[in-house]
Structure 1
Amino acid sequence: MAETYNGYCVKCREKRDFTGHVEETNSRRMAKGTCPVCGTKMTRILGKASS
């Protein structure tokens, strides 16, 4: 399920909205997607998952 998140693109050096999916690793949730302008991978740490 793809959702929209706001993250920082290192290549563009700007905050942008990107569509991505949520992955969970070591009880941490992270949204992963690509920048709509340059295509670089973007991530956003969402916080710990509730157990």
Structure 2
Amino acid sequence: MAEAYCVKCKAKREMKNEQRTEINARGGKKRPALKGSCPVCGTKMMRILPKGK
């Protein structure tokens, strides 16, 4: 499981139900990312991954 920052809880938490996805970046390129939810409050969380991973 990956860690991400929960804006609502204002704390770093382990993501629940994480899914690997791609988001649009500058210049029409794609960046890898993880989407999931906070296990405490249920808010959506996202973590942008390094380009090579």
TM-score (norm 2): 0.77
| Count of aligned positions | 47
Structure 2: segments with no counterpart, 5+ residues: 24-28
**Contact 1:27–1:49, Cα closer than 8 Å, also in 2:** no
Equivalent residue, structure 2, for 1:5: 2
| Percent identity between the two aligned chains | 49
**CA RMSD after TM alignment:** 1.4
Name the one with the larger helix percent.
2
Equivalent residue, structure 2, for 1:22: 20
Equivalent residue, structure 1, for 2:38: 35
Structure of higher CA gyration radius:
2
Equivalent residue, structure 1, for 2:26: none
Name the one with the larger strand percent.
1
Whole-angstrom CA distance in 2 between matches of 1:39 and 1:22: 18
